[in-house]
Amino acid sequence: MSLSMRRVLGSRALRPPLVRTLVSMPKLIPEAVPTGSTQIFRTVEEVKRWRRPQYTCHRVIGLVPTMGALHEGHLSLISAAVKECDHVVVSMYVNPAQFGPHEDLDSYPANWDSDLEILAALEKKLAKKISAVFAPTTKEMYPFGFPGQEVDSKGSFVIITPLSERLEGKSRPTFFRGVATVCMKLLNIVQPDKVFFGQKDIQQSLVIQRMVDDLMVPTKVIVCPTVREPDGLARSSRNVYLGTRRRKVAKVLHDALASAKQQYLNGRADRSSILGSANGLLESTQATQVSLPAEERVRFEVDYVSFADRFTMDEVEEVDPSRGAIVSAAIKMLPVELATPGEDVGYNGGPAVRLIDNMILEPSG
């Protein structure tokens, strides 16, 4: 089964007064998603207490890790988990350890009530329950104190090298350390049989797979296809930052990768042809935007365009017909230079937005 299809790599009813009541009670009574049967767990002990009986019943448990701000991409993962598992746990936790000191942690989009309503609607649509939401605090996830976001922070970390040092890891040196650490915590807490990730974050999925393999974690990593907007832009919680003007230009990321993949489908498997096509489209789009007046143009920076082995993320010169490859890229959409009166510049004033995407070049042999 191909990786692009799916590869096993190996609300309003919940208001602060209710939360305060739950926190003050010595024995927590689980909340429930409005109109649904999903339980909400705030503590590790609650999850473990719920999990114990599942062992004796031989139930298959699935975990979908999220940071909230749910969108169609998350829902596709939850739907896949519901189909394959007896019980599904959705974690919603904005993990500070995977943000750099100057990244968008404080402004990361979050809407607890909306997320709960989305889950309730999905549960109704699927006609099958989502068993639990795990929504811990940072104090719960880091009981001895959050170690910090700096590269030289001291604490208990899971570090997967050299895979986590490439591409995204090179640009965001603490990102995969934070991801691997929180995912190991979640795997230890929930102890799922399967954990579900999206292909958009392919390097993240590979890091987690390597961690699971190297540390012998008895969980199967499932990677599901990227969910896209009609114009091809990958669904992401950060897309709300873009606003109307930048949103129209952001599709260049998808278009560049699609152009590279088309070179491969046309029979070109060499690095020059594949990356040349992607870089050419990115550069021409930048040139077009620079020529526009400030009140119309969109500025963006290209972080990287990569042509790599699909298992190791090592850069390659040509596609290995037995392994295939990954073409991936990251761009930073810079803030609107000169907004027009009443212009939608994006959520939280439209800060810089980092976008990533990838496409799989399937094996041909």
- CATH code at position 161: 3.40.50.620
Average pLDDT over residues 327-356: 96
264 has a pLDDT exceeding 90: yes
Domain count for the chain: 2
pLDDT bucket at 106, cuts 50 / 70 / 90: confident
Q: For 183, which DSSP code?
A: H
Average pLDDT over residues 331-336: 98
**What is the pTM (predicted TM-score) of this model?**
0.87
22 has a pLDDT exceeding 50: no
Look at residue 183 in the predicted model and tell me its pLDDT. 97
124-146 pLDDT per residue, tens:
998 888 999 999 999 999 999 88
Task: For residue 230, tell me if it sits in a domain.
Answer: no
Residues 252 and 149 in one domain: no
31-66 pLDDT per residue, tens:
656 556 789 999 999 999 999 998 888 899 999 999
Task: For residue 123, tell me if it sits in a domain.
Answer: yes
Pairing type for strands 220-224 and 7-8 reads antiparallel
Average pLDDT of the chain is: 89
Residues 296 and 213 in one domain: no
Task: For residue 60, tell me if it sits in a domain.
Answer: yes
Average pLDDT over residues 277-306: 98
**Residue 247, domain extent:** 237-361
Look at residue 31 in the predicted model and tell me its pLDDT. 64
41 contacts 30 by C-beta, under 8 angstroms: yes
Residues 319 and 204 in one domain: no
Alpha carbon distance 314, 293 (integer Å): 40
Residues 60 and 209 in one domain: yes
Alpha carbon distance 158, 136 (integer Å): 20
Alpha carbon distance 162, 165 (integer Å): 5
23 has a pLDDT exceeding 70: no
Alpha carbon distance 68, 112 (integer Å): 7
Look at residue 2 in the predicted model and tell me its pLDDT. 46
Task: For residue 229, tell me if it sits in a domain.
Answer: no
Last residue of a domain, one of 199, 224, 249: 224
170 has a pLDDT exceeding 80: yes
Residues 104 and 241 in one domain: no
Last residue of a domain, one of 224, 252, 268: 224
Average pLDDT over residues 2-23: 37
99/261: higher pLDDT:
261
Which of 74, 87, 102, 254 is the catalytic position?
74
Percentage of the chain beyond pLDDT 70 is: 90
Look at residue 127 in the predicted model and tell me its pLDDT. 84
58 part of the active site: no
60-69 pLDDT per residue, tens:
999 999 999 8
- CATH code at position 284: 3.30.1300.10
